[in-house]
Each structure stands twice: as C-alpha cells, then as structure tokens.
Amino acid sequence: MSPHQPSPRPSAPLLFVNARLIDPARGSETRGGLLAVDGRIADLGPALTAQNAPDGARVIDCAGDVLAPGLIDMQAFVGEPGAEHRETIASATLSAAAGGVTTLVATSATFPAVDDPAVVDFVLRRARDTGRVRVLPMAALTKGREGKEIAELGLLQQAGAVAFFDGARSVKNALVMRRAMSYARDFGALVVHFPQDPDLAGGVMNEGDFALRLGLAGVPREAEALMLDRDLRLVALTGARYHAAIVTTTLSLDALRAAKAAGLPVTCGVTINHLTLNENDIGDYRTFLKLRPPLRLEDERKALVAALAEGLIDVVVSDHDPQDVEMKRLPFAEAEFGAIGTQTMLPAGLRLVHSGDISLPKLLAAMSSRPAEILGLEQGRLQKGAPADLIRFDPDEPFVVDPEKLHSRCRNTPFDGALLQGAPKTTVVAGEIVYERAS
C-alpha cells in the first residue's frame, strides 16, 4: 500500500453498520453506516444497514462504537534512516495503526537529517514498502538541522516534504529564520518550529519549587515565550505560514491569541502529555516523564486544555520519541528526553472528554481534520468521496496500559500502568483494514 495513494489493487468493499458517526470537520454526529469502496467513502448515513450491503462486501457491526476519521499525528519520530535501534518505519506505523493514527508526519531528526531530496525519497520508499499507514516526511528547515544555512526548501518540497522542521532544535539566529520564512513563503510552504531559547533552556524539568526540591535544574517558561515572540514578529515581517510545534505556557497562549487576532497565518500544537500530565507526575525522578519542553504546573496544563477547547490550540500531537532502555535507566539529569505516544494518544486524550473539559468531536478535530487543513490533505472528514481512512473505538471501554503490549521498539511510555479508555478496535487506511484488535 502506498503511503500517499489508495492501494492500486482492488479491495472488497467495507460496510460499517450501527456506528456512531462523528465528522470532526463539521462537528456533526449521527447514527448509521458507512460504505468504503475503492479506498474512498462511497456512502454514509442512517439508511446503510447490513441488509443493503453490496455483493462481496465485508460487513462490520460497530454495535454503537464511534466511527471517525483516522488520526493525523503531526509530529512523530520514525527512526529511519539511522536510528533503527530506537524505531523503524515498520514498528512506528504498526504502533500508529494500533493507536488509530492513519497518517504519521515524520520529523526530520534522523541520521542523516532529512535535508536532501534523496533522503525524502528514501523515507517515502521505505514507507511504501514496510509501512502500514501513510507516512508524510517533514524536511529540515536548515542543513543538518544546525540552524546556520537554509536547506533547499523548493527541491525538498518537490521531492515530497509536507513541511519544514528542525525537530527539537530552535533556529537561534533571527536572520537565518527570517530568510527561511521568506524562502518558504515563496513556495507556499509551512514552517514548523520548536520555540525554545537554547540559552535559557539548559535545565531538565520545569523551573519552580518542585525542581528545587528535587535538586534539578529548571527550564523557565520564558525560554519558550521569548523564542515564540521573535518568531511571531518574523511572521508579521515575512508573511510566512508558521506552526509552533509545541506550546506549553500561558505566556505562549497570550502571544498566539494576539497573533491570530491580528490575522497572522499562524497555528500551534500541543502534546498529549502536556494536556494530561503535569510536573508533579515526575514524582520520584520518573525518567519516562522527562520531556522537551518539560511538563509544567497544573494551572498551565488546565490553561492548555481550555485553549484547545476554545480552538486557540489547533493540533494535538503524540511527539512520539522512542528512547532505548539504556538512555532512560539513568539519573534524571542524565537521562534522554522523550516518550513514545502514537498508540496511547487517543485514549489519553479521552481523559479530557470523560472529565467534561472538551467534547469528543473537538478532540477528534485537533487530531484529524485540523491537521489535515494545515497540511492541505484530503483526510480528516467523514464525507462522500473522502479517503476511507477510518478508526473505530468505544470511548468508554477501559484498559490498563501494559508497555509489553505496545508496538514501538521502545517502552518509554509516560502512561505505564495507567487506566485509560478507548483503545481502537479497527483502523482502516484507503479502505483497507491495517489493524484489527483481537476480541
């Protein structure tokens, strides 16, 4: 199956019946069925039942489960090339499929970096040959992700890059960033940036009383806010499309609210970890919760959730970052940053639905239709003619996260042993079932 196009070989029609159909693109919810033919949604609505299934169709009775567009994860590390010991495209896409993610947007933080059209082509070919879901590569904004010289954005876009991102490295030089934005604007390209001043961000967790008690160096909120303020001023100067990869503080939210009110072409994302966890969850030096940027105070977490419900925050990402056990079984200050997340992103997000902080269609929009809009994709909607990228799940079905049952090559989940709800039952890409949970 190609990561970009529906399978060229004909597949049997799929008919889902007795489903709770949620289209986050329109915020609608209905009961009924959905028919997928030749990789696309052929029909949907209350009139579709098992009795009027087309000849040869496979009928799946959802028994009231949610049927929604597959998730689009805008930030995930897939390991290839160069870090296959941490993850491969095969393992990353299996983990994604098990989490209901039908499109993975791969970061450029590979070895070598995705800063050459040949590397973009390599990722696309590996995804075609070994991937279960669609894989869309982001290319580096600067050569080698070093923040010194702009990458060949035009050639990289022609090769198939969907956006430009240096990963968890900020472009420190304002002139380089201005030139990159101006160049990207000329190609209509999306600049994705990790807003964190590296000179201020030398710590390992959120700066504050808890870090002092643990004896750990902190990262102040201002490290993020200062870099974001600079970026937003450069957006106003250049007119480039800009996406703040991860925001974690009310300082950033205030700046983004003003930028959006001024009509600037800016969007932003937040990780599922920063929406559902806070610095206190680090507890007794739990290295699986050592993240970049760090988990913040509970008041900041609540502000992020409110901003997501409001629509100020556009996208929820997993920030899937596998780290092998040797890099996490170290003292907290020495352990590597990062956590896996594609397989638990949706169930963790459903915590916010069950607490009444956000509606299910709104959560799904931030994980599917809104990323599709930002990236210019067809996916993310339940409408006739749309790609049949689908997910079926029961949002109330409980389970306990067992790291040994996760499909990533690494086990550094912040939700180890957590009680969650809503693990996907079926994941469909281009009309083909790519994951089906055993009963």
CA distances from 231 to 17, 101, 125, 152, 185 (A): 48, 30, 34, 21, 14
Amino acid at 257: R
- Name the token pair of 117: 């059209």
Structure confidence at residue 8 (pLDDT): 44
> Residue 1 pLDDT > 60, yes or no?
no
Q: Using one digit for the tens of pLDDT, what is the confidence trace for 235-288?
A: 999 999 999 999 999 999 999 999 999 999 999 999 999 999 999 999 999 999
CA distances from 395 to 139, 418, 435 (A): 35, 16, 17
Collapsing DSSP states into helix, strand and coil, what is residue 12?
coil
Nearest to 79 by CA among 131, 21, 19: 131
Q: Using one digit for the tens of pLDDT, what is the confidence trace for 119-176?
A: 999 999 999 999 999 999 999 999 999 999 999 999 999 999 999 999 999 999 999 9
Active site residues: 319
CA distance 405 to 414: 14
- Contacts for 364 with CB less than 8 Å, ≥ 6 apart: 22, 24, 68, 69, 71
For range 21-49, the mean pLDDT:
97
- Residue 8 · residue 432 · CB < 8 Å: no
CA distance 285 to 264: 40
**Residue 402 pLDDT grade (very low, low, confident, very high; cuts 50, 70, 90):** very high
**Residue 11 pLDDT grade (very low, low, confident, very high; cuts 50, 70, 90):** confident
> Residue 85 pLDDT > 60, yes or no?
yes
Q: Using one digit for the tens of pLDDT, what is the confidence trace for 187-226?
A: 999 999 999 999 999 999 999 999 999 999 999 999 999 9
Q: Using one digit for the tens of pLDDT, what is the confidence trace for 304-353?
A: 999 999 999 999 999 999 999 999 999 999 999 999 999 999 999 999 99
Task: Tell me the whole-structure pTM to 2 decimals.
Answer: 0.96
Nearest to 127 by CA among 183, 68, 78, 65: 78
Locus of tokens 């069925």: 33
Structure confidence at residue 438 (pLDDT): 83
